[in-house]
Amino acid sequence: MNKRQLLQSFLAASALSFGLAPALAQSPTPIKFQLDWRFEGPAALFLHPAAKGYFKAAGLDVAIDAGNGSGGTVTRVASGAYDMGFADLAALMEFHANNPDSPNKPVAVMMVYNNTPASVMALKKSGIAKPADLAGKKLGAPVFDAGRRAFPIFAKANNIGAVNWTAMDPTLRETMLIRGDVDAITGFTFTSLLNLEARGAKAADIVVLPYPDHGVKLYGNVIIASPKLIKENPEAVKKFLSAFAKGAKEVIANPAVAIESVKARDGIIDSKLETRRLQLAIDTVINSADARSEGFGTVNAGRMSLMASQVSDAFNTKTRVSPDAVWTAALLPPAAELNGVLRK
């Protein structure tokens, strides 16, 4: 052992004897995190802070996996397979109301998509220009699609007559619209709009009817955590949210750079396309007027209660959704940290 190693050993032993061991000597807290979808643009919100080492610096060992829909994410966190996740709030509400006796119902701990990304999309040649034009039309979407599930709320807000639904795999949705198999589709704007363009549709020929612009003020995706983790290690959740908020601020400020973290996880993505997708998500649901008004990460109690009631009715749940059961603000970072995330 050389002099430097001897000195380091002496200092480490001294620190331990006086209870001054650095935090890095402690084992990091493992957290398994499930996204709502594939490694696309919006995944940078989580992959960027991970790549920058923000979770690690907070004493967390975060493993981020791609998902295949919000419903699956909620179920996996409820089962204990994952500790935390990213999912549509309506899907979380539905799980709570349909599984009242479940011992491990996930809880929303931070709002990310202040507005639902759901919209109805059609081609101009269909003659659809406004919500009322959808009456009697054939609409297509996977059965679990958030926009399809919430369509009764959209229909009620816009007095839309009966429509006919066609189910399909998510990969076929935009293709079937292009082919004319359906008149319109529901989906996340930043997903389906770019997918339609990738399949040859021109932006000028696409009609987009965003739910938030037509009387539907549903919240979108939230960060969820298992009640077990919240009870046993609330500090870990707090540290995760603080590190996430730090990363989200950078993602919003520079999406093109943030996309590099997504490319590192999935080398075949089109960086330019995914940067557009991320920017569209930021503009429409993350840094939206509603988000700036309410504040990043938080919710409005009245709006949350209205959504709970709307989801209970539209999803025909077994029990009524309790907004207090699905959401807690107790673990959010201080307002000073959250206030700087969004750009004015």
Tell me the per-residue pLDDT of 210-228, one tens digit each, with 9 for 90 and over: 999 999 999 999 999 999 9
179 with 224, same domain: the answer is no
Residue 16, number of CB atoms within 10 A of its CB: 11
| CATH, residue 238 | 3.40.190.10
The domain tally of the chain equals 2
Q: What is the pLDDT of residue 280?
A: 96
Q: What is the pLDDT of residue 18?
A: 44
Q: Which residues pair with residue 327 across a beta bridge?
A: 108
239 with 98, same domain: the answer is yes
256 with 332, same domain: the answer is yes
User: What are the C-alpha distances in Å from 59 to residues 23, 56, 227, 238?
Assistant: 8, 5, 20, 11
State pLDDT tens for residues 274-302: 999 999 999 999 999 999 999 999 999 99
Q: Is residue 15 part of a domain?
A: no
DSSP code of residue 284: I
Q: Is residue 11 part of a domain?
A: no
59 with 78, same domain: the answer is yes
User: What are the C-alpha distances in Å from 238 to residues 89, 326, 328?
Assistant: 20, 17, 12
CA atoms within 13 A on the CB side of 261: 23
Contacts of 232 (CB under 8 A, 6+ apart): none
Label residue 143 by pLDDT band (50, 70, 90).
very high
* DSSP assignments along 165-192, one per residue: EE---GGGHHHHHHHTSSSEEEEEHHHH
CB 308 within 8 A of CB 326: yes
Q: Print burial letters for 92-129: b (CB count within 10 Å at least 16), e (below 16).
A: bbbbbbebeeeeebbbbbbbbbbbbbbbbbbbeebebe
* DSSP assignments along 28-46, one per residue: PEEEEEE-SSSSSGGGHHH
> Is the confidence at residue 144, as pLDDT, over 50?
yes
- Final residue in a domain of this structure, among 156, 183, 214: 214
Q: Is residue 266 part of a domain?
A: yes
Q: Is residue 14 part of a domain?
A: no
Cα 51–chain centre separation:
19
Order the strands of the 29-34 sheet from edge to edge.
60-65, 29-34, 84-88, 221-225, 107-111
CB 70 within 8 A of CB 118: no
Look at the block and give the residue holding tokens 């009322």: 132
Residue-number span of the structural domain to which 107 is assigned: 29-115+219-338
Predicted TM-score (pTM) of this structure: 0.90
Give me the mean pLDDT over the 322-329 stretch: 97
Q: Is residue 43 part of a domain?
A: yes
Q: Is residue 157 part of a domain?
A: yes
Label residue 135 by pLDDT band (50, 70, 90).
very high
Q: What is the pLDDT of residue 39?
A: 97
State pLDDT tens for residues 146-193: 999 999 999 999 999 999 999 999 999 999 999 999 999 999 999 999
Q: What is the pLDDT of residue 122?
A: 98
User: Cα separation of 239 and 335, whole Å?
Assistant: 15
Q: How many helices (H) and strands (E) does the chain have?
A: 17, 10
Label residue 344 by pLDDT band (50, 70, 90).
confident
303 with 181, same domain: the answer is no
Nearest to 140 by CA among 167, 171, 169, 178: 167
Q: What is the 3-state secondary structure of 71-137? A: HHHHHHHHHCCCCEEEEEHHHHHHHHHHCCCCCCCCEEEEECCCCCCEEEEEEHHHCCCCHHHHCCC
Q: What is the average pLDDT score of the chain?
A: 93
Cα 174–chain centre separation:
21
159 with 261, same domain: the answer is no
State pLDDT tens for residues 3-50: 444 444 544 444 444 444 444 458 999 999 999 999 999 999 999 999
- Final residue in a domain of this structure, among 214, 233, 261: 214
123 with 197, same domain: the answer is yes
243 with 297, same domain: the answer is yes
102 with 248, same domain: the answer is yes
User: What are the C-alpha distances in Å from 178 to residues 22, 65, 185, 196?
Assistant: 59, 31, 10, 8
Give me the mean pLDDT over the 308-326 stretch: 96
Q: Is residue 20 part of a domain?
A: no
DSSP code of residue 327: B
CA atoms within 13 A on the CB side of 12: 9
Q: Is residue 344 part of a domain?
A: no
161 with 102, same domain: the answer is no
User: Cα separation of 88 and 70, whole Å?
Assistant: 6
Backbone angles phi and psi of 68, in degrees to 5? -135, 30
- Final residue in a domain of this structure, among 189, 214, 239: 214
126 with 175, same domain: the answer is yes
Residue 33, number of CB atoms within 10 A of its CB: 25
Q: What is the pLDDT of residue 225?
A: 98
Q: What is the pLDDT of residue 343?
A: 85
126 with 110, same domain: the answer is no
Terminal alpha carbon distance of the chain: 57
